[in-house]
Structure 1
Amino acid sequence: MSGLLRQPVLWLAIGAVLVAGTSFVVGHGNEPAAAPRGDTLSATDLGTQVRRFAAGLHDDARYRAPRQSERRQLLSALRALAAGDSERAEDEAAELGFTVRTGTDERTGRRYGLAVNPKGERGWGWYLVDLSAPVRLAVEVPHPNFDLHTEEIGLALYRAVPGSLLMVAGTHRRVDDGAGDVAHRTDSMFHAVASDIAGRGLPQVQLHGFHDDNLPDVDVVVSPGAADPDDAVSRVADRIDDADLRVCRSWRGDCGRLEGTTNVQGRDAARQGTTFVHVEISRSVRDDRDDWSALVRAMADAELD
């Protein structure tokens, strides 16, 4: 069994969150969410959905950051979704333009809840919650359609670890002169959810990509972001080594400018004392399904909780 599954974290929904000085509480508990009312739980190809979502993000799109009230409302909708109240989730999210749906992942057979950002200026994300187990890991994709294939790798890791939450940014990194770069902005919906994850003591794995020319002798860069490496971060690097992928550990040597020390989710996790694993993946590995599948298995086997 994956080391990630050895000590369940008693958290199901998006919990008590502090965003820009505003505190609000959402549900949590020991048990998986009940089946949402009226849910047919039809099998769904999540891989096709996330690829289409990422492919639709462009650097010339309109974008505005969400207001505090909008962050509160989406997080309330996510609470309802995780608790099995899909009707309430749909109502609250619809006011923001989000689409909410539930179903069964055809690959794993596990139930999920999905909230997808609307088109237009509110590029606020794609949030996939495993409803079959308490949430214990956040998998984060901040640069879809820029760090190519990271959304596929993120979905594969979500599937490999029951109880995962997959977060995919809803905007291209270069939108509005970088305003859409959620890894370096604290005013995004993505950061609001990630900050709550850190506050609940849950580990985060954030996936990025780099060009081979930047570090030609490296396949993967592993970093704790702004913090010192804890045992969990070290184990991730060790498992990747075991998968015969070449690893650069930021705490042991120079990994170029790929350590993620300015990443705002990493800084927030360091402030809150929780595990944050910043993973940079070479283009060659991201283009090779066998290689990135081996990477996913390695990360899933690491003891993050």
Structure 2
Amino acid sequence: MSRPRTLLSVAGVVIALALVLTMVLILGDAKSPKPVPEAGLDSLVTDFTARLSADQEYRSPKADERRTAAAGFAALLDRRSTPELAKLGFSVRDGVDPATGRPYTIAVNEPGTERAWGMYVLDRSAPPSLAVEVPHPAFDLRTELFGVDLFRRTPGAVLLVAGAHRKADGTKADVAHQEDSVFHVMATALAGRGLAQVQLHGFHDENLPSTDLVLSSGATVAGDPARRAATHLTADGFAVCRAWEERCGALEGTTNVQGKLAAADDTVFLHVEMSRTVRESPERRADVVRGLVEAGLARP
């Protein structure tokens, strides 16, 4: 009789230990949930732009706020702390883009308020090399996707995405034509460091039916980078209107304030207008981005 009782006793202990271990594992999982995978930059950017609309809140930053933004962005570029950006409602954090494995720092404006001043992403795998600008998200549809793709193909790129629809606040949120914006402050900082700017726009097919892309240097003189971009994109099968050689309707970007900035700083500015058909095609998007990369716009 003692042997069976001993076996039953041992079995009871084993069962009790198993129950305790199960409870520990369950409680441990409850206290330590599995980490959520890092969202890709394309998701972060499209989620950001999806909230923009013509009737959203927006106000232009005051002069002292623009000075604060300039100081904060300079600190961000130099990898210093950025209390100035926090004062303006920006949240700043580091991340890693799963698509490239490269680290980045992202600064995003305060959501749902009139301080709709943009999203700025710095690739940290290399020194700053190229300003990739999306001034009209949610208006020039899909241009933010081109911006993300070009950013991903360019180590050291800085992505600038406006924080409001261009029609917000009676078009005062149109950062491509308003100097009193945080977007322009950021572009000024990058141009001041000698970086080329590539600015992405879109047009309706019927506005220039025989054209896929319009390339312009805005207020600057078209140099070798713009001409190389036109050559590469033409070789990829695009019908390219070169604004420095022919008239391209109202799509030449000559009044663009970032282009005027580049002219004053003697830096490169490339204004890229894309038809709706081009913007709706992932394959054509890849071709546009490849052509821009091959043009060698980024600072080595």
Band of TM-score, shorter chain:
0.7 to 0.9
Task: Provide the secondary structure at the position in 2 that maps to 1:144.
Answer: coil
1:183-198 pair list within 5 angstroms: 183-198=176-191
Q: CA–CA distance in 2 between the matches of 1:49 and 1:77?
A: 22
Bigger-Rg structure (1/2): 2
**Equivalent residue for 2:105?**
113
1:73-88 pair list within 5 angstroms: 73-85=68-80, 88=81
1:80-159 pair list within 5 angstroms: 80-85=75-80, 88-89=81-82, 91-119=83-111, 120-159=113-152
Query: 1:74-122 CA deviation, whole Å, 9 max, x = no partner?
Result: 333333334444xx32x43222111111110111111100000112101
1:152-231 pair list within 5 angstroms: 152-231=145-224
Structure with greater helix percent: 2
**Equivalent residue for 1:256?**
249
**Higher normalized contact order (CA 8 Å, seq sep 6+, divided by chain length):** 1
TM-score normalised by L of structure 2: 0.84
Aligned residue-pair number? 262
Post-superposition offset of 1:45: 1.1
Structure 1: gaps (5+ residues): 1-39
Q: CA–CA distance in 1 between the matches of 2:214 and 2:205?
A: 12
> Identity of counterpart residues, as a percentage?
49
Q: CA–CA distance in 2 between the matches of 1:203 and 1:100?
A: 24
Report the residue type matching 1:279 in the other structure. V
CA gap of 1:82–1:273, structure 2 versus 1, over 3 A, is closer
Post-superposition offset of 1:172: 0.5
Query: 1:14-39 CA deviation, whole Å, 9 max, x = no partner?
Result: xxxxxxxxxxxxxxxxxxxxxxxxxx
After superposition, the CA RMSD in angstroms is 1.5
| Bigger Cα displacement from structure 2, 179-188 vs 266-275 | 266-275
2:47 matches 1:52: yes
Query: 1:36-91 CA deviation, whole Å, 9 max, x = no partner?
Result: xxxx9x74311111001111111111211112322232333333334444xx32x4
Task: Provide the secondary structure at the position in 2 that maps to 1:222.
Answer: strand
Runs in 1 of length 4+ with deviation above 6 angstroms? none
Post-superposition offset of 1:218: 0.7
Report the residue type matching 1:230 in the other structure. G
Post-superposition offset of 1:189: 0.5
Task: Provide the secondary structure at the position in 2 that maps to 1:270.
Answer: helix
Q: CA–CA distance in 2 between the matches of 1:81 and 1:265?
A: 20
Q: CA–CA distance in 2 between the matches of 1:273 and 1:81?
A: 24
TM-score normalised by L of structure 1: 0.83
Q: CA–CA distance in 2 between the matches of 1:48 and 1:148?
A: 15
Q: CA–CA distance in 1 between the matches of 2:71 and 2:163?
A: 18
The answer on whether the counterparts of 1:43 and 1:103 sit within 8 Å (CA) in structure 2 is yes
